[in-house]
Amino acid sequence: MVESAQWGKVLRVIEKANSIVLTTHFNPDGDALGSEIALERYLTKLNKNVWIINNSPVTNNYKFLDPENRIIVFDAEKHLPLIEKADVFIIVDISDWERLRELGAIIQKSDSTKICIDHHHIENQFADIDIIYKEASSTGELIYEFLNYANHEIDIEIASALYTCILTDTGSFRFSNTTALTHEIASKLRSTGINARYIYQEVYENNSRNKIALMAKALDNLKYECSGKLAWFTITQQMFEETAAENWDTEGFPEIPRTIEGVEVSLMFTELEPDKVKVSFRSKGNIVINEVARKFGGGGHNFAAGAVIRKSLDKTIDMILSESIEVVNSYGN
């Protein structure tokens, strides 16, 4: 997928480094966490000093990936010395400095080499070395390719982490980003002896009661447009308070409406702050929706995208719905 010369650049930087910091986006999902864990194990076996430092804690359904609590939640007072002595930063599953929050601002100022490995579209150069391949099912798929390029053994721990990446970012192999190569890689990972059923149970059958309560409230306000082709719902700050759920509990919610007969596009509006709303765009695969996200400063894949709008919830809904309805209607019947 990626040219060998590109992986060669990454490998040469890693070989020369002593201290490496790995990080990813706020509220990391299975692909982000699995990619970090796989790289951390690889780098540790190379006798590198390596730390995973994230802005958010690991949620319950992904704690099986990190039983030794190797993932650090960033604290400026405690962790600035680690960041300052890092020779290399490897940023996975994100190419947007804003979604790296305070940690991203600190890394940007560093003179150390920055490497980005991601499968989301970017407009401009992000890091010193950008390994971006948007046709990949997941960042984990790219990490798998890199480890093969580096002739590194993929043991059960690495395989479990990478399988989690692929499983979650393909929606259990049902999204349009699932290719024959994706299945081939998943098969090779399973051949290492990983417990695929256990991984599935931990990820998808380990929901908190708070999350289910939030899901119920969210779907209770589900609305339809375009003769049922577009479905949308909101999650307000009040809903979070009433259910004691957290923002990361919304993982998987945007996909639910597109399982409804006749729905082609689903939108989820999450009120992060009074004047800050995250919009999640999903399409069944017949209507390209990411252009709407990009129009409002976001991005993503053709059929799965997102944007953060710094306006009130009502104003954001009006803007996004207007554009989305126009896109859906443009596809006709």
* Domain CATH number, residue 318: 3.10.310.30
Instruction: Give the structural domain span for 271.
Output: 209-330
* pLDDT for res 96: 86
Cα–Cα distances in angstroms (integers) from residue 258 to residues 30, 208, 228, 311, 330, in the given order: 21, 23, 11, 26, 19
For the chain, give the mean pLDDT.
95
What is the amino acid identity at position 167?
A: L
Task: Kindly state the percentage of the chain with pLDDT values over 90.
Answer: 90
222 in the same domain as 180? no
Q: What confidence tier does 85 reach under pLDDT thresholds 50, 70, 90?
A: very high
121-180: per-residue pLDDT in tens?
A: 887 899 999 999 999 999 999 999 999 999 999 999 999 999 999 999 999 999 889 999
180 in the same domain as 240? no
111 in the same domain as 90? yes
278-307: per-residue pLDDT in tens?
A: 999 999 999 999 999 999 999 888 999 999
80 in the same domain as 98? yes
The strand pairing partners of 19, in sequence order, are 49
Question: Is the model's pLDDT at 28 over the cut of 80?
Answer: yes
187 in the same domain as 106? yes
* Among candidate residues 186, 204, 222, the one where a domain is terminated: 204
103 in the same domain as 32? yes
Global pTM value: 0.90
Task: Kindly state the percentage of the chain with pLDDT values over 70.
Answer: 99
9 in the same domain as 143? yes
Question: Strands 304-309 and 276-283: what pairing?
Answer: antiparallel
220-229: per-residue pLDDT in tens?
A: 999 999 999 9
Q: What's the number of domains the chain is made of?
A: 2
Q: Are 64 and 199 in contact (CB under 8 A)?
A: yes
* pLDDT for res 196: 98
305 in the same domain as 215? yes
267 in the same domain as 200? no
Question: Is the model's pLDDT at 98 over the cut of 90?
Answer: no
Task: Report the 3 state secondary structure along the chain.
Answer: CCCHHHHHHHHHHHHHCCEEEEECCCCCCHHHHHHHHHHHHHHHHCCCEEEEEECCCCCHHHHHHCCCCCEEECCHHHHHHHHHCCCEEEEECCCCHHHHHHHHHHHHHCCCEEEEEECCCCCCCCCCEEEECCCCCCHHHHHHHHHHHCCCCCCHHHHHHHHHHHHHHCCCCCCCCCCHHHHHHHHHHHCCCCCHHHHHHHHHCCCCHHHHHHHHHHHHCCEEEHHHCEEEEEECHHHHHHHCCCHHHHCCHHHCHHHCCCCCEEEEEEEEECCEEEEEEEECCCCCCHHHHHHCCCEEECCEEEEEECCCHHHHHHHHHHHHHHHHHHCCC
**Spatial separation of the C-alpha atoms in residues 294 and 253, rounded to whole Å:** 21
What is the amino acid identity at position 237?
A: Q
223-280: per-residue pLDDT in tens?
A: 999 999 999 999 999 999 999 999 999 999 999 999 999 999 999 999 999 999 999 9
* pLDDT for res 300: 84
259 in the same domain as 143? no
* pLDDT for res 121: 80
* Among candidate residues 204, 229, 249, the one where a domain is terminated: 204
Q: What confidence tier does 333 reach under pLDDT thresholds 50, 70, 90?
A: low
Indicate which CATH number applies to the domain containing 189.
3.90.1640.10
55 in the same domain as 137? yes
319 in the same domain as 218? yes
Question: 31 CB contacts (<8 Å, ≥6 apart)?
Answer: 93, 138, 139, 140, 164, 165, 166, 168, 169
Mean pLDDT across 209-225: 97
Mean pLDDT across 59-83: 94
* pLDDT for res 301: 85
